[in-house]
Structure formats: C-alpha cells, structure tokens
C-alpha cells in the first residue's frame, strides 16, 4: 500500500481506519477486523470517547503475536480542554493508558481552539480560554516535549487553516509534520495542499465519505451526499468499484492519507481494497469539477457569539 514518508524515514500507510463516531460497543471488533485484514494505520482521538475499547483491541491483537505494535501506525489527538501547558502531557498519558500503548506514532492538536480544563464541550463564552490565555505555541512546545520524552514519534495539528499554520511556523523551528483536515471531492483543499507541500507538512483527509453518520444536530439541511454523487457513481461503475472506493482512491492518489470510518466488516474490507482500483486522468478531471468548497464539519459548534474562534477556518476554501 502507498505510504507517506516522514523526515526521519518513518512511513505512514496512506489508508487508515477512522474511529470518530464508532460506538464503544462496536469499535473493538472493528479495529480487530481491520488489523486482521491488512490495515496498519488506526486513527483515534480522546474526544471520540472510545479509546479504552480500542485499547482492548490493540492489546488482544498485539498479544496474539501475529501483528507487532511497531507494524501499526497509531494516531491520536489532544482534546481542546488540555491545551494549557501543564495539561498536555497528562492528557497524552491518559490516551496512552486507554489505548494500552507506550508510545504513539503521531499526536495532533485536534483543533486550534482551547476550552477551560473542566469543559468537555462548550456551551457559553466563558467555557473557552482565549488564545492569549492558551497560545497555540505553548501547546505546540509541549507537543515537542512529548516527542522529546519518547511518548510520541511525530507531532502535528488538525483543522488548521494555512493562516493558522503560517502563524505557528513563524513561532517554531520545528514544523508540524501533519495537518489532518476535512478533505473530499466537495472540499478539495487545493490551496492548503499546495501550502502544506511547500512546507513539508503531510495532509490526512477526514470525512472522506461525507460522514453520513454524524449526529443530526451537526448536519446541515439538504447537505449533499458524496456517496450518492452521480459523477462518483459513474466512475465507480466504469471501474467495477464502489463509490466509497473511488472516494478513498482519489485521496490516496493525491498523496494524502485518508481515514474512512466503518464498523461494518464488509465495508472495512471494501475500503482497504480500494488500493486495487485505478483512476485515470479523465476521472480526475471529472472529480476536479465537483469542488464546491462545501464543509460537512463547519466548526460552528465552537462559535459562541464574540469569542475568539469565529471564522475558524479563516476562509480557507470555505463557503458555508
């Protein structure tokens, strides 16, 4: 399978299993199915509320002896309520404990947004810390410290616009190695892709299939379906593939990592089998026309009137 190479030569398998929205009761089985069927990259986050169940899967699989810990790329993310410098390493240690690991391959700052330490999800202005109270550079320096301590091999960010990346790059001499963002044919992120490749920052595509299982409260009325898009389905038919496979292959071929979520055995397998599909130039041209700068995950849930986090994506590729 295609891999993304890091500065020190480490290689991240391009296709990983996403675990956002995977229920605690089903994710353990999903991760075991994935690993036993060839996945070597699992994407996690503290806020998904299921790292302890994923940890049970890791423990069973790695103790089973067929797959070694070092053969699997494991990513997790620092939640927004642990941005203060004294909170970063304890939050990471909790994730390691839940996942039953002694290191992560990649740890990301989940959002450029900080909540007060006791807030899981903000409801009002006073639930947030301002950027002055929790500057990103201080959180970033603790991520670098975690790397120095050997708790993580690589560090990066998620949901950062090129403007926010640029601000961080100005303040640090050690650039993030990854930016995980929403990325699919409706939100192709060409500018961000170009900016990141110029600065040796890899991208990971989340919500590659349109995240149809988001809670209703997070969905826009009449949001467009990626999996049912006629162009994607025409291309799928042409290659004898599924729409999901075309979407995954498209991301992989653009040189990004991609983390489709599934808890269904057949779809978990089908998604990895996208490696066998090939897209040609005419498919790429057709898909390029689908870019409508549409976001499924708008970040609106972080906006309370007048706080510092309005316009979280700084209008990068953004048309609400």
Q: Which parts of this chain interact with ligand A2P (CB under 6 A)?
A: 18, 207-213, 227, 242, 244, 260-264, 267, 270-271
For ligand A2P, give the closer residue by CB, 97 or 219: 219
Separation of alpha carbons 236 and 244, rounded Å:
9
Using CB atoms within 10 Å of the CB of residue 64, give its burial: 0 to 12 exposed, 13 to 18 middle, 19+ buried.
Answer: exposed
For ligand A2P, give the closer residue by CB, 135 or 212: 212
Q: At what angle do helices 24-36 and 51-64 cross, to 10 degrees?
A: 30
Q: What's the DSSP call for residue 84?
A: S
Q: What's the DSSP call for residue 296?
A: S
- Closest residue to ligand A2P, Cβ-based? 244
Residue 32 CB, shortest distance to ligand A2P, in Å, is 15
Active-site annotation, residues: 48
For ligand A2P, give the closer residue by CB, 208 or 299: 208
Q: Where are the beta strands (DSSP E) in the chain?
A: 3-5, 11-13, 17-18, 41-43, 73-78, 104-109, 114-115, 128-129, 152-158, 178-182, 202-206, 257-258
Alpha carbons within 13 angstroms on the beta-carbon side of residue 36 total: 12
Residue 147 CB, shortest distance to ligand A2P, in Å, is 28
Separation of alpha carbons 188 and 288, rounded Å:
8
Residue 201 CB, shortest distance to ligand A2P, in Å, is 22
Residue 304 CB, shortest distance to ligand A2P, in Å, is 26
For ligand A2P, give the closer residue by CB, 39 or 62: 39
């Amino acid at each position: 399978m295609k891999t993304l190479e890091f500065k020190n030569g480490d290689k991240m398998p391009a296709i990983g299993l996403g675990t956002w929205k995977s229920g605690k009761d089903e994710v353990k089985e999903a991760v075991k199915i994935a690993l036993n069927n060839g996945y070597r990259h699992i994407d996690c986050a503290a806020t998904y509320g299921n790292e302890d169940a994923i940890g049970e899967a890791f423990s069973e699989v790695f103790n089973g002896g067929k797959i070694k810990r070092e053969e699997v790329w494991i990513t997790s993310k620092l939640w927004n309520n642990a941005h203060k410098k004294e909170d970063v390493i304890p939050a990471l240690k909790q994730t390691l404990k839940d996942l039953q690991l002694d290191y992560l391959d990649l740890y990301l700052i989940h959002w450029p947004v900080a909540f007060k330490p006791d807030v899981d999800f903000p409801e009002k202005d006073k639930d947030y810390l301002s950027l002055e109270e929790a500057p990103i550079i201080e959180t970033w320096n603790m991520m670098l410290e975690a790397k120095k301590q050997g708790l993580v091999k690589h560090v990066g960010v998620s949901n950062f616009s090129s403007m926010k990346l640029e601000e961080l790059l100005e303040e640090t001499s050690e650039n993030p190695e990854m930016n995980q963002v929403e990325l699919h044919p409706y939100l192709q992120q060409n500018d961000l892709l170009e900016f990141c490749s110029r600065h040796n920052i890899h991208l990971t595509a989340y919500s590659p299939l349109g995240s149809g299982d988001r809670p209703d409260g997070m969905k826009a009325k009449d949001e467009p379906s990626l999996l049912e898009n006629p162009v994607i389905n025409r291309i799928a038919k042409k290659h004898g593939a599924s729409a999901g496979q075309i979407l995954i292959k498209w991301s992989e071929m653009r040189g990004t990592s991609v983390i489709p979520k599934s808890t269904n055995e057949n779809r978990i397998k089908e998604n990895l089998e996208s490696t066998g599909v090939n897209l040609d130039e005419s498919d790429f041209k057709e898909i390029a026309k689908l870019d409508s700068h549409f976001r499924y995950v708008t970040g609106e849930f972080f906006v309370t009137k007048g706080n510092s986090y309005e316009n979280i994506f700084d209008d990068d590729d953004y048309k609400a």
